Amino acid sequence: MLAVLPVRDGSLPLGGAEAVAEAGGEALVVGPGAAEAASLLAGVATDVSWAELPPFAPAAWAAALAPLVEDADVVVLPGSPDGRDLAPRLAHLLRRPLLAGAMTITTGGATVAVEGGLVLHEMVVDGPFVATLQPGVRGVDLDPAVVATVSSLGDLPVPAAGLDPDLVELVPADPATMDLAESPRIVGGGAGLGDQSVMDQLGQVADALGCSTGGTRVITDWGWLPFERQIGTTGVMVHPRLYLAFGVSGAVQHVAGLGDPTHVIAVNTDASCPMMSLADLAIVTDGPALVAELARRLGVPVDG
C-alpha cells in the first residue's frame, strides 16, 4: 500500500499521518512545500518520497501522479478536502474502483462508512484500488524508533489537463457551518450545561472564538443541536487541534469520536469524570456560570 498526501504550503492534510500509518509507513508527499511536510512524518513513515507540484489542481495533479503510483496495489489518500478531490480523478486514470470514506483499509478491501456513518459495509476488491481514509478514525502512535528513508523526486512535470477551474479566491471556511470532521477548533457541550439556553449561548461564545460547535449524543437527542453536530462513534469523528468541553462527562462513545486532539480543556463540576482526566487543563467550576462570564467578556449579546 502507498499513501499519497496532497499538501499545501508545507502542511500535512487532515488525516495525513493516519493514512501513512494505515498504508504501513510508505508515503508519497506532493505539493508546494512537500519536503517540509515530509519531515513532519517522523515516527510514522518508513519510506517517504516527495515531489514539488504547483498549487493544487486535482485533474492536473492526478495526471502527473498516475504513472508514479500505478505499481502500488492500494493507493490510500486522506479524506481531507484535497484528498477527496484528488482520489476519484486518480482512480479514474488508473481504471480502479474507489472506496471512499473508509474506516479501515487492507490489501483486499475496506470497511466503508455509509448513510452518514450509521452503517458500515465490508467492501471486498479483487485487484488494485484507490481508497480515502476518514480522518480521526485511526489515530497515530508516534514511535521514535521509526526512522524514514526520504527521497526526492524533484519537480514533477504537470500536463495541461484542461479540466481544472481557475481559482479566483480562496475563502476560509466558516467555523459555524464547516464539517466538524475538518474543524481545527471545537467547543463542545454536554448534559452538564443543564438548559438549552446555555447551549445556545455556548454556540455564540464559540462563534466569537472562531470555533465550531459540537455536542454529545444527549444534547442532540434533546434537540439542542442538529445531529450533524454530534461528536462520537454514532456521530461525527473529529480530530481537532483544540477541544473545549463544557459539561461533558466523557462517555466512551463521545471520547472515541474525538480522535487525538492536540489540546483539551474541560469544564465540569465533577473533578473525577473521564473528560477531566483527559484534559490538559481541567477547570472544576459551574459550566453555565463560566459560559455566561465568557459571553460577557467576549461581548456576546444577552439576547443573541
pLDDT in the model for residue 304 = 42
Residue 13 per-residue DSSP state:
P
For the chain, domains (ranges, CATH) are 2-155 (3.40.50.620), 180-298 (3.40.50.1220)
pLDDT tens digits, residue range 90-132?
999 999 999 999 999 999 999 997 776 667 889 999 999 999 9
Indicate the pLDDT class of residue 295, thresholds 50, 70 and 90: very high
The burial of 27, by beta-carbon neighbours within 10 Å (0-12 exposed, 13-18 middle, 19 or more buried), is given as buried
For 62-84, the pLDDT digits (tens) are 999 999 999 999 999 999 989 99
| Model pTM score | 0.73
Exposure string for 110-147, b = 16+ CB within 10 A, e = fewer:
bbbbeeebeeeeebebeebbbbbbbbbbbebeeeeeee
